[in-house]
């Protein structure tokens, strides 16, 4: 078994030609930038945010978010319904050619659940984004405190 904080995800990402930072571009032209994880403040789940831009000629969709630090990853959307904030799972996030889609607080986001060990502000979490057209991006997402911009 690989220790959760090993450098193996970073090494594999670099060897496979994927991103070794908070940004990267898939072979089909989807760029990911400004990735971060919100400090879960001791909880075992945290939100993941990123900006995606499609420079390719065809629509693609983000269909999965995974991390070696989490048992499960999923995509969600926050909405306000009759004054109540609700979170619902979404099967994917479509990114049309030329479009910019932001996974951000109060809207679309990734959820990382079953975090172990629980990360804190200043830590790094490796996150893999999987797209419908078959590409994946591995990103290094810094963990930010909720009060940080």
Segments making up each domain of the chain, as ranges: 25-119+126-143
Tell me: cis bond preceding 88? Omega within 30 of 0 counts. no
pLDDT digit string (tens) for the chain, length 149 residues: 333 334 444 434 433 434 445 788 888 899 999 999 999 999 999 999 999 999 999 999 999 999 999 999 999 999 998 999 999 999 999 999 999 999 999 999 999 999 999 999 999 999 999 999 999 999 999 999 999 86
The pTM is what? 0.84
The 8-class DSSP code of residue 125 comes to E
Task: Quote the tokens at residue 121.
Answer: 């502000």
HEC string of 42-85? CCCEEEEEEEEEECCCCCEEEEEEECCCCCEEEEEEEEEECCEE
Report which secondary-structure segment, H or E, holds 89. Answer: strand 84-89
As a CATH number, domain 25-119+126-143 is: 2.60.40.1890
């Amino acid at each position: 078994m690989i220790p959760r904080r090993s450098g193996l995800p970073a090494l594999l990402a670099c060897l496979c030609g994927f991103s070794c930072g908070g940004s990267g571009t898939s072979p089909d032209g989807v760029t990911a930038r400004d990735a971060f994880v919100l400090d879960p403040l001791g909880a075992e789940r945290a939100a993941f945010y990123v900006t995606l831009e499609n420079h390719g000629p065809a629509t693609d969709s983000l269909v999965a978010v995974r991390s070696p630090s989490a048992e499960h990853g999923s995509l969600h959307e926050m909405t306000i319904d009759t004054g109540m904030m609700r979170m619902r799972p979404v099967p994917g996030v479509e990114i049309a050619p030329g479009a910019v889609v932001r996974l951000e607080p109060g809207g679309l986001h990734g959820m990382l659940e079953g975090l172990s060990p629980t990360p804190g502000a200043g830590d790094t979490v490796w996150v893999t984004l999987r797209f419908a057209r078959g590409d994946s991006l591995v990103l290094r997402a810094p963990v930010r405190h909720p009060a940080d911009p």
